[in-house]
Amino acid sequence: MSNLESFRNETRDWLEANCPDSMRTPIKSEKDICWGGKRFEFASDDQKIWLERMSSRGWTCPTWPEEYGGGGLSKEEAEILKEEMSRIKARPALISFGIWMLGPALLKYGTEEQKKHYLPQITRGEIRWAQGYSEPGAGSDLAALRTKGDDKGDHWVVNGQKVWTSYADECDWIFALVRTEPDAPKHLGISFLLIDMTWDGVSTKPIKLISGKSPFCETFFDDVEVPKENIVHEAGRGWDVAKYLLSHERANIAGGGSGAQMNPASAARQSGEVDEDGRISDPILRADIARLTIDALAFETTLQRIKDQADGGQGVGAKASMLKYYGTELNKRRHELNMSALGSDGLLWEGDNPEDGDPARSWLRSRANSIEGGTSEIQLNILAKRVLELPGG
């Protein structure tokens, strides 16, 4: 038996013994997601137990080094873990901006002290992070940010505002881009700072969305004192960290395009739209579902190929923009088709069951996919400039 076969058997046995039954069902709503953090309220004892068991093995971040709380798995072993979790329909034990955005940036640019302090807490779900990038007037043109940090010797005093800060009112810390050298060129003079949300001068205000829910906030900094050791990378070189982090953010947002948790074919059948042979009766709907399924499989294959290249040290680069653009457009198509398949049932907004209204709210939420993490227009500009080498305007 090869080492990988042995690893698969051990992993299968461990998952069977340790994954609670209630954690072997698809994530249907926000409450099913374990975000972690100091203020997080677990939806059930099983959700907490599942996080504790997975993090104790380092499997919330399976490929991170063991000395930073990760599992130390190879790319092949991590893929086996993913396959075995999928086989029993196990939910992710922890979903976190710390895992798929800040963590990779700290591994590349952080000091040894920062890695040892923050990364293990991220793997255990003890810190929930917010992203302080977009500002009023500096969303798509991120480098136009005006939040500033005045140098006071051993610390900066930060003043300014961020917007569209996901879950800021529930997060413990925020990683923020701050202009610390106002006379430097636009993409220089920006620093990447780690700020405790409980520090004096940090406040948040929720933003209501069309879906009726409010994951986004405005975040304000009023004379916030940030110690110099809370900078990642070098002063004035935060743009390097920001670009690297964005490539991970966009690749992960694009992952929604594979959309295993949204199945328009099942929705059509649940609505009774089948003929006597069990086929979806509407031929146009059937063709649309077939086309979407084929496109999703092709996208998932491409996504996995580029992830493999990244794991092999080739980097993601502008390919993240390609994935982000196509993945988010594909996810919007899926939600549109799901609503068509549900018919009038899809219009339900409230009902007796907690899940009532989820399809409509998810459909409305999907409209933001092509805005968050850089708009589709920004991704097309990046592809035109860096991949096709077309002249800029």
Longest dimension (CA), the chain: 77
In terms of Cα–Cα distance, which of 9, 34, 108 is closest to 64?
Answer: 108
Main-chain dihedrals φ then ψ at residue 120, nearest 5 degrees: -60, -35
- Determine whether 249 is an active site residue: yes
- Residue 372 contacts by C-beta under 8 Å, 6 or more apart in sequence? 164, 166, 253
- Residue 282 contacts by C-beta under 8 Å, 6 or more apart in sequence? 268, 273
Give the separation between CA 283 and CA 318, rounded to whole angstroms.
38
Would you put residue 110 in left (φ > 0), alpha (ψ -120 to 50) or beta? Answer: beta
Give the separation between CA 393 and CA 391, rounded to whole angstroms.
7
- Residue 288 contacts by C-beta under 8 Å, 6 or more apart in sequence? 337, 340
The label of the residue with tokens 């955005």 reads 101
DSSP 317: T
| CB-CB contact of 203 with 222 (8 Å) | yes
DSSP 213: -
Instruction: Check 249, 273, 329, 372 and give the catalytic one.
Output: 249
Amino acid at residue number 381: N
Give the separation between CA 132 and CA 178, rounded to whole angstroms.
9
Q: What is the DSSP string of 5-20?
A: HHHHHHHHHHHHHHS-
| CB-CB contact of 33 with 25 (8 Å) | no
Q: How many helices (H) and strands (E) does the chain have?
A: 12, 8
DSSP 185: -
- Which residues have a catalytic role annotated? 249
